Structure 1
């Protein structure tokens, strides 16, 4: 399996994981994308996502219409991407998140960044301005 294949699996699993978490079907994703200017049949979207062959721009657009803009995600390691294949797992192990939070706190002397997914709340927007 090539490195590209590993990253395609990772992208596919991240997108499908967000869809499952948010309870969004391919039909609903098609509707959301259509409202954003991309007219594509649900079957076509399903085929593209299940193959894992889509552009990064398409991935970002899907994340945006799924309400994931304004947040960030951690890119899985190659080992994690291989472990995800066939399991449907899309989350990073908790010990790696703890390491990230600890290293940010100790290296900067500042409060660690809160790991978020999805859009920021109005309260968070108000505190960052």
Structure 2
């Protein structure tokens, strides 16, 4: 967040300096594993229900665009960052989690998102797990 803030401030003509308390990326769980995962903890219908149509939809649209924003930044800033965009798997380890995943799949699919609810066999074939 600090680097993004500094970049946007610099683009506005401000002088910026970034200070890091620890090692670069330290404590950033996504960076530790190299993931860029779009989305929020809450599903689209929950966001609209709790924040209203206008704000809820704005949050949904933001969540849907976060990964694209990262990869667009890499491209636009010509950063030497190797990456592969090949999706991500959100595992469901209980029946409750599977029901939630099916509901999430339905909601994002209805919004035109490129999502797919995978079977245990499909996940095993893709991951070897």
Give the TM-score category using the shorter length.
Answer: under 0.3
TM-score by length of 2: 0.22
User: Normalising to structure 1: TM-score of the pair?
Assistant: 0.22
Higher Rg of the two aligned structures = 2
- Structure with the higher fraction of residues in helix conformation: 1
